[in-house]
Chain A
Amino acid sequence: MSEFFASLAALWEKVAQQFPTVFQALNSGFLQTLKLFIVTLLGALPLGLVISFGSMARFAPLKAVTRFVVWVVRGSPLMIQLLIVYYFPGLVLKQNWWGSGEEGRFLAAAIAFIFNYACYFSEIYRSGIQAVPVGQQEAGQVLGMTGPQIFFRVKLLQMIKHIVPPMANEIITLVKDTSLARIIALQEVIWAGQAFMKGKSGIAGEIWPLFFTAVYYLLFSGLLTLLFNKLEKKLSYFR
């Protein structure tokens, strides 16, 4: 028993000593994670809306094609999509689209993430748009309101209320999904943690930095959960 506590103390001492170096490396890795997260949202939130319009289009072929693409993207693993986007140009087309550096990897990852998440978001938008009863539209019409007035003053907030909870879930999933970019060696936080196993900055054979990366995800998703709860509460004054 005392042996166990002794080894625990030794571990603690080692971690405390290595922490500043590791912390710095993980921070810069997390910066890359954060960048991927933000770029994905900036791209996927508007693209998802466009795709949702496609999936509700009156023009049947457009609707069918959009829904098929959404089904494929949502039905297959993001990890495979990442690999395809990253390796397809080089291995199949013999074109070096992505270059060889971190920037190229980021671009490939961003494209895969944006497209994947836009497809998920499109379904959320669609259900939110369709959740507003037609009675709301008709009530606005018989009161002489114009189409845009009905959309912006009557329906939009009701749609947002429907969209926020599933969107919050999806966005929190995205926080953790960014780690999948590790598969194409994007230097995000997990990659940064793993580097200390092989050896980096005089630290080698250490696995605790990798384990420690979980703290970043926890804190970040925790923060987002709080924010979204606040937003949901703000919208809970009506039903």
Chain B
Amino acid sequence: MAYFAVENVTKSFGSTRVLKGVDFSMEKGEVLSIIGSSGSGKTTLLRGINFLTLPDTGRFYLEDACFFNAVKDKRLPEREIRKKRLHFGLVFQSFNLFPQYSVLDNLCLAPRCLAQDKSKSAQEETRSRAMDLLNRVGLADKAGNYPCELSGGQQQRVAIARALMLSPKVLCFDEPTSALDPELTGEVLRVLKDLAAERITMIIVTHEMKFAREVSDKVIFMADGVVAEEGDPERLFTDPQTPRLKAFLANTR
């Protein structure tokens, strides 16, 4: 009885097979971290889950109901894909805030585009939800600023709040601190810890091993397009079973 599961996800770009059959599952409120060396397919997997690049094969399950089958749903119209996409959120390595909108408008833009109800009170509600979320990431005082006026860490916190606006069932992060100066990673990781404490279901691709160990309920080690090892973080980091994970951990220390 898993909350979210993927089964046999494969993806090739031309003749290179990037994902060779990925399976994993997670419970509601869990934090799943994905680690693995560069090129192992972590980003491709997250992009698949968010329907940015559709997998060649594979099924996605939410609460044990299959809601996407890559083979069957290959030709699904964009409108249907968009609906499915809304189950998930994705925070990018490079933030990708909308530069011409203020922080507040970055949060409000998509909800307002999606809303059926365009009334003033609905708009006001979106706004107050946005302010709540900005408070949660500690940036309420930057609501009127533009992204270019913020530090990288602040931009990433805004991007996280923006993703939370749509209350995704599973929120994914692709190396959320990799583009940041070392002294700015702390503030972003702190926000992620707060979200974990609030039982937001998250998948985090990260190179921050210490963080992954502290915050995750489960860790997946990807190598060469497959899940090479998975399990409880303490076990995985202290007692790796496969030679590849041993080598990987030895290299990251």
A interface residues (Cβ-Cβ under 8 A, vs B): 133, 135-136, 138-147, 149, 153-154, 157-158, 161, 237-239
Contact = CB atoms under 8 A, between A and B. Distances in A.
12 contacts: A138-B96, A139-B97, A141-B52, A142-B89, A142-B90, A144-B110, A145-B109, A146-B82, A158-B100, A238-B146, A238-B147, A238-B148
A219 B51 CA distance: 55
A67 B66 CA distance: 47
A133 to B, nearest CB: 8
B184 interface: no
Contacts of A161: 100
Contacts of A238: 99-100, 146-148
A138 B110 contact: no
A237 B106 CA distance: 15
Given A158-B99, A238-B99, A142 B113 contact: no
B151 to A, nearest CB: 14
Contacts of B162: 143
Nearest to A150: B113
Contacts of A157: 100
Given A145-B114, A149-B113, A157-B100, A139 B85 contact: no
**Interface range, B side:** 20 to 34
A136 B100 contact: no
A60 B193 CA distance: 50
A136 to B, nearest CB: 6
A146 B113 contact: yes
A144 B100 contact: no
A139 B98 contact: yes
B80 interface: no
Residue among B50, B79, B82, B113 having the largest count of chain A Cβ atoms under 10 Å: B113
Contacts of A239: 99, 148
A234 B162 CA distance: 26
A135 B92 CA distance: 8
Contacts of A133: 96
Nearest to B172: A142
B86 interface: yes
A140 B51 CA distance: 12
Contacts of B60: none
A238 B125 CA distance: 27
Q: Which 9 A-B pairs have the closest CB atoms?
A: A143-B110, A139-B96, A135-B96, A239-B148, A238-B99, A142-B90, A238-B100, A144-B86, A149-B113
A42 to B, nearest CB: 28
Residue among B50, B79, B99, B166 having the largest count of chain A Cβ atoms under 10 Å: B99
B52 A142 contact: yes
Contact of B110 (A135, A140, A158): A140
Contacts of B98: 136, 139, 154
A235 to B, nearest CB: 9
Given A138-B52, A142-B52, A158-B99, A147 B78 contact: yes
A145 B110 contact: yes
B126 interface: no
Contacts of B96: 133, 135-136, 138-139
B25 interface: no
Nearest to A160: B100
Interface string B138-164: 000000001110000000000000110
Nearest to B90: A142
Nearest to A149: B113
B88 interface: yes
B85 to A, nearest CB: 6
B192 to A, nearest CB: 18
B94 interface: yes
A141 B89 CA distance: 10
A157 B148 CA distance: 16
B109 A142 contact: no
A238 to B, nearest CB: 4
A154 B90 CA distance: 17
Given A135-B92, A142-B90, A237-B146, 6 more contacts: A136-B98, A138-B92, A139-B92, A142-B89, A153-B109, A158-B100
Given A136-B96, A138-B96, A158-B99, A145 B148 contact: no
